[in-house]
Structure 1
Amino acid sequence: MSARVEHLVTSGTFSLDGQTFDVDNNVWIVGDDQQVVVVDAPHDADAIAAAIGDRRLLAVVCTHAHDDHVREAPRLAARFGAPVLLHPADREVWDLTNAGTATQDLAHGEVITVAGTDLHVLHTPGHTPGSVCLYAPELATVFTGDTLFAGGPGATGRSFSSFPTIVDSLRDVLFELPAETRVHTGHGQDTTIGDESPHLREWVDRGH
């Protein structure tokens, strides 16, 4: 029996480069009745902990280190005795919010197994240097954080970001996944790889 995906939305703020915005963030819980992995821990550790319940938390996996995705990661992880997993290229961004708190490194190609289901780590820089996606072939699902949304790539107009780099990540990594792969994003609604990949050229042409 494979893992299932549970969805929670938490609300708060995103701050970078001297600006602050109100945001709603998706939290994804992957697992079964015994164990789970949390993908991103923004805004409200108590709400996420309540959704986990008495299950074992194997890890809090950060798709990237912007504050609206990791603000509560250390507190949630400590509550359950679990590690926080982060790509090392995002350590500088992480330290803007959680300086002095420990993380364990994620690497491209690493596999995280929960409830018998493998989550493959894909390094997809661009939105931040250490952005990652988690691909679960058995679930025909990829968790993209802010690398890919319904309608286009994540924002690249702020510090630590690069539009050419995110385009490379989409073309060379995410859009190599099967077209039917469901995309669970960091904000907003789901999409699929097949719905988004035909639009890459137009995004590039308009400098999205």
Structure 2
Amino acid sequence: MGYSGAVKVGGPADVHELTDLMISKVAVGPMNNNAYVLRCRATDEQLLIDAAAEPHTLLTLIGDSGIASVVTTHQHGDHWGALREVVDATGARTYAGRYDAEGIPVATDIPVEDGDVLSVGHVRLTARHLVGHTPGSIVLIYDDPHGAPHLFTGDCLFPGGVGNTHGDAENFTSLLDGVRGKLFDELPDETWVYPGHGSDTTLGAERPHLDEWRERGW
């Protein structure tokens, strides 16, 4: 069976096998967060996106080869609950958006700006800064030279809408404008979306609903 992205807390990881990159998705509790281990197939270097919870689960998925780096998509506690344990166990360097780093109680080794490029082995990931869910949320884009792009959105984009802005109209407008301008306007419909919680989607599945989201205000 191919990759579906359907995972549940306590269940196995699902693995998306690309030509140059392996993406392992696992769900961890208590808030059903997704964490992603990316492995460069040429070098076996690994990167973790969101050490959310359950350090044992994450370290088991990482395996004996360890990880070179951990990216925290934003400062909310359910996305860094296992960060200290994972960093202590692996010695990984830490990345987070510059404007969220102070809200993460594990030091950020490399603050990330909009457009910065992060590496996992030979694979390059481009960060985009989005304001609204938090001041410094980042998403990561892998522009696969062999196929469609892959987009890791944290809590900025989900199936059915953008991330929670808690009824703040200014933050909602900022987030939707950023998602539209930096993601939907720049990436094709085939772009695979890996969110911080729940099921995967594609930009093509969500694109027809952008005006609907703006009208409803969330």
1:110 matched to 2:136: no
> Where does the alignment leave 5 or more consecutive residues of structure 2 unmatched?
1-18
* Distance in 1 of aligned mates of 2:85 and 2:66: 15
Deviations 1:13-40 (A, max 9, x none): xxxxxxxxxx200111111462210000
Which residue of structure 1 lines up, in the alignment, with residue 25 of structure 2?
7
Letter matched to residue 107 of structure 2: A
Give, as a single letter, the amino acid of the residue that structure 2 aligns with 1:4.
M
How many pairs are equivalent? Answer: 192
CA contact (8 A) 2:67 2:90 kept: yes
User: What do the CA deviations read for 1:70-114 (whole angstroms, capped 9, x no partner)?
Assistant: 1211221121111111112113432xxx2xx31120111111121
SS at match of 2:99: helix
Coordinate RMSD, CA, aligned: 1.7
Per the alignment, residue 77 of structure 1 pairs with 87
Compute the displacement of 1:188 (Å).
0.6
1:15 match: none
* Distance across 1 between alignment mates of 2:209 and 2:198: 19
Report the alpha carbon displacement of residue 158 of structure 1 after superposing the two structures with TM: 7.2
2:38 alignment partner, one of 30, 33, 38:
30
TM-score (norm 2): 0.83
1:179-190 mapped onto 2 (5 Å cutoff): 179-190=189-200
Please state how far the C-alpha of 1:203 moved relative to its aligned partner. Answer: 0.6
Q: Quick one: distance in 1 between partners of 2:49 and 2:136?
A: 15
Aligned-partner Cα distance in 1 for 2:111–2:65: 24
Gaps of 5+ in 1: 13-22
Whether the 8 Å contact between 1:3 and 1:30 is mirrored in structure 2 is: yes
Counterpart check, 1:154 vs 2:163: yes
Higher helix share: 1
Moved over 6 A (4+): none
TM-score, normalisation: structure 1:
0.87
Q: CA offset at residue 59 of structure 1?
A: 0.8
